[in-house]
């Protein structure tokens, strides 16, 4: 069984918690694209982890974690992460496999990324982790792959493998595999809000090319969306809240970047964005995260369309000018953090989720109401 987990907004949807939860019974968890630009925060008991490269499934002692060929690897960031896991008492021996076909992020890539950001007339607001320059070199056919890197640097020899071959054997052995997308669909280099995107395919198609698992072997694609919208870096965010309201939501939701610490821009839930994301990924079911963050609001807006626009616009200027059409839904103004069954949610919270399902046309199967694993509601 192969499942793909994809962010349906601009990243930071809370994929880390969902992957952690789903990897409880998974044999293998795979990262397929991106690099140390990602930051997955996981809370387990009183310990807080931020993982950038190593899949969050590493916390489960029975899970094998794979860094697939589609990932770009910063060797220093990887070393630091291995060190951190060691300090936290997480044993990765025999449980971490790194693709020999993945590409390396060099010191020069990082310097160039940071320099580009300072001098560009149109700033992207990158994480400065060298992602764009590393992928540029990869497609220009001048990149350095792990298989070349290991001829000179032996730090990771014990982990390097032909991960495509490993994964295809795991499929033949009927293992449970979870492929973990980094960033979100709207940051996809093809389908996202170009040029304000990252440099990889963050959508479900990238899971195939980034792992060596063919599309016919993927059984299920799960989309993660936050109960509202956030974005880090530059680029249009049609439902962005005015400063005071945005600040309040940011504080409630602790919306600060896991990698850069930057404050995330906050907005209302945008059903146009999530519907588009569900289409381009072939999402089978949705997980809605951080519903509890909205507990304080008397009225909750949901964007049901953009005025005079039929499709999610490709033209970035049209998206920047998009006028969201909102519906006002009543808030519930009571804590949902200890609710564990959908029927026990306040009626207004149930109605909010049901409205999302109708607008998007995809069922919601899981709702998260807090950072802890057990703060999760299954919905039929
Ligand atoms: P890059 O991936 O560092 O090149 O950054 C390109 C854009 O993607 C910027 O707007 C970043 O803020 C955004 N981005 C990259 N990684 C993440 C992530 O993990 N979460 C949210 N935004 C991200």
**Is the CB of residue 192 less than 8 Å from the CB of residue 185?**
yes
Query: Residue 249 and residue 286: Cα distance in Å, rounded?
Result: 22
Query: Residue 291 and residue 313: Cα distance in Å, rounded?
Result: 28
Residue 352 scores a pLDDT above 70? yes
Assess whether the C-beta atom of 13 lies below 6 angstroms from ligand 1.
Answer: no
Assess whether the C-beta atom of 132 lies below 6 angstroms from ligand 1.
Answer: yes
Percent of the chain with pLDDT over 90: 84
Based on the domain organization, do 42 and 173 belong to the same domain? Answer: yes
Give the CATH number, domain containing residue 85. 3.40.440.10
Based on the domain organization, do 215 and 231 belong to the same domain? Answer: no
Assess whether the C-beta atom of 27 lies below 6 angstroms from ligand 1.
Answer: no
Ligand 1 center from residue 271 Cα (angstroms) = 22
Query: Residue 168 and residue 160: Cα distance in Å, rounded?
Result: 16
Provide the 3-class DSSP secondary structure of residue 364: strand
In this prediction, residue 240 has a pLDDT band, given cuts at 50, 70 and 90, of very high
Report the number of distinct structural domains present in the chain.
2
Give the CATH number, domain containing residue 233. 3.90.170.10
Residue nearest to atom 21 of ligand 1 (CA): 11
Q: Which domain holds residue 369?
A: 225-378
Assess whether the C-beta atom of 187 lies below 6 angstroms from ligand 1.
Answer: yes
Q: What is the DSSP string of 65-132?
A: EEE-TTBEE-HHHHHHHHHHHHHTT---TTTEEEETTPEEPPHHHHHHHHHHHHH-SS-----SSSHH
Based on the domain organization, do 212 and 230 belong to the same domain? Answer: no
Q: Which residues are catalytic?
A: 12, 40
First CA to last CA across the chain, in angstroms?
21
pLDDT for residue 64: 96
Tell me the β-bridge partners of 98.
67, 160
* Alpha-helix residue ranges (DSSP H) falling in the chain: 15-22, 75-87, 107-119, 131-139, 146-149, 163-172, 204-209, 243-253, 271-281, 316-321, 347-360
User: Is 113 a member of any domain?
Assistant: no
For residue 206 the two structure tokens come to 């990238």
User: Is 316 a member of any domain?
Assistant: yes
Based on the domain organization, do 219 and 244 belong to the same domain? Answer: no
Q: Give the model confidence (pLDDT) of 11-37 as tens digits.
A: 999 988 898 888 888 999 999 999 999
Q: Can you tell me which residue has the tokens 């703060």?
A: 375
The whole-number average pLDDT for the span 142-165 is 97
In this prediction, residue 260 has a pLDDT band, given cuts at 50, 70 and 90, of confident
User: Is 193 a member of any domain?
Assistant: yes
Based on the domain organization, do 192 and 256 belong to the same domain? Answer: no
Count of other CB atoms within 10 angstroms of residue 175: 15
Assess whether the C-beta atom of 12 lies below 6 angstroms from ligand 1.
Answer: yes
What atom of ligand 1 comes closest to residue 126's alpha carbon? 5
Strands 269-270 and 285-289: unpaired
Query: Residue 169 and residue 348: Cα distance in Å, rounded?
Result: 47
Based on the domain organization, do 274 and 357 belong to the same domain? Answer: yes
Ligand 1 center from residue 37 Cα (angstroms) = 6
Ligand 1 center from residue 116 Cα (angstroms) = 15
Higher pLDDT, 122 or 345: 345
Based on the domain organization, do 279 and 210 belong to the same domain? Answer: no
Q: What is the DSSP string of 266-294?
A: EE-EEHHHHHHHHHHHT--EEEEE-GGGG
- Please, what is the average pLDDT of the chain? 95
Based on the domain organization, do 19 and 166 belong to the same domain? Answer: yes
Pairs from 192-195 (Cβ < 8 Å, separation ≥ 24): 193/10, 193/235, 193/236, 193/316, 193/319, 194/314, 194/316, 195/122, 195/124, 195/316
Ligand 1 center from residue 184 Cα (angstroms) = 9
Assess whether the C-beta atom of 193 lies below 6 angstroms from ligand 1.
Answer: no
Residue 204 scores a pLDDT above 70? yes
Q: Can you tell me which residue has the tokens 């999610």?
A: 312
pTM of the model: 0.96
Residue 134 scores a pLDDT above 80? yes
Ligand 1 center from residue 335 Cα (angstroms) = 32
Based on the domain organization, do 193 and 289 belong to the same domain? Answer: no
Q: Give the model confidence (pLDDT) of 294-340 as tens digits.
A: 999 999 999 999 998 888 999 999 999 999 999 999 999 999 999 99
Residue 43 scores a pLDDT above 80? no
Residue nearest to atom 19 of ligand 1 (CA): 38
Phi/psi region, residue 177 (left: phi>0; alpha: psi -120 to 50; beta: rest), is beta
Based on the domain organization, do 325 and 269 belong to the same domain? Answer: yes
Query: Residue 6 and residue 181: Cα distance in Å, rounded?
Result: 5
């Amino acid at each position: 069984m192969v499942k793909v987990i994809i962010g349906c907004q601009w990243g930071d949807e809370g994929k880390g918690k969902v992957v952690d939860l789903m990897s409880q019974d998974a044999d293998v968890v795979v990262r397929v694209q991106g690099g140390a630009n990602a930051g997955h925060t996981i809370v387990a008991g009183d310990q807080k982890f931020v993982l950038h490269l190593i899949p969050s499934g590493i916390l489960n002692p029975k899970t094998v974690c794979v860094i697939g060929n589609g990932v770009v690897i910063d060797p220093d960031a990887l070393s630091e992460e291995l060190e951190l896991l060691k300090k936290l008492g997480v044993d990765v021996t025999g449980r971490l496999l790194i693709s020999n076909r993945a590409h390396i992020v060099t010191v020069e890539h990082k310097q160039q990324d940071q320099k580009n950001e300072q001098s560009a007339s149109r700033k992207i607001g990158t994480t400065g982790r060298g992602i764009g320059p590393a992928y540029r070199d990869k497609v220009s056919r001048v990149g350095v792959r792990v298989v070349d890197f290991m001829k000179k640097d032996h730090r990771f020899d014990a982990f390097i493998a032909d991960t495509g071959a490993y994964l295809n054997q795991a499929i033949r052995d009927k293992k449970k595999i979870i492929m973990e997308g980094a960033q979100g669909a709207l940051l996809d280099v093809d389908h996202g809000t170009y040029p304000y995107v990252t440099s990889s395919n963050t959508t479900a198609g990238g899971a195939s090319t980034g792992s060596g698992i063919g599309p016919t072997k993927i059984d299920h694609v799960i989309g993660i969306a936050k109960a509202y919208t956030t974005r880090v870096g530059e680029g249009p965010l049609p439902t962005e809240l005015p400063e005071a309201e945005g600040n309040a939501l940011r504080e409630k939701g602790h919306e600060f970047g896991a990698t850069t610490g930057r404050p995330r821009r906050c907005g209302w839930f945008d059903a146009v964005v999530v519907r588009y994301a569900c289409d381009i990924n072939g999402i089978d079911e949705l997980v809605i995260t951080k519903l509890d963050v909205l507990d304080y609001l008397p009225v909750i807006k949901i964007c049901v369309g953009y005025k005079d626009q039929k499709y999610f616009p490709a033209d970035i200027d049209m998206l920047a000018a998009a006028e969201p059409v909102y519906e006002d839904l009543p808030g519930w103004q009571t804590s949902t953090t200890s609710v564990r069954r959908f029927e026990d949610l306040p009626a207004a919270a149930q109605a909010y989720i049901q409205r999302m399902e109708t607008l998007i046309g995809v069922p919601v199967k899981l709702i998260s109401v807090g950072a802890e694993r057990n703060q999760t509601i299954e919905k039929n």
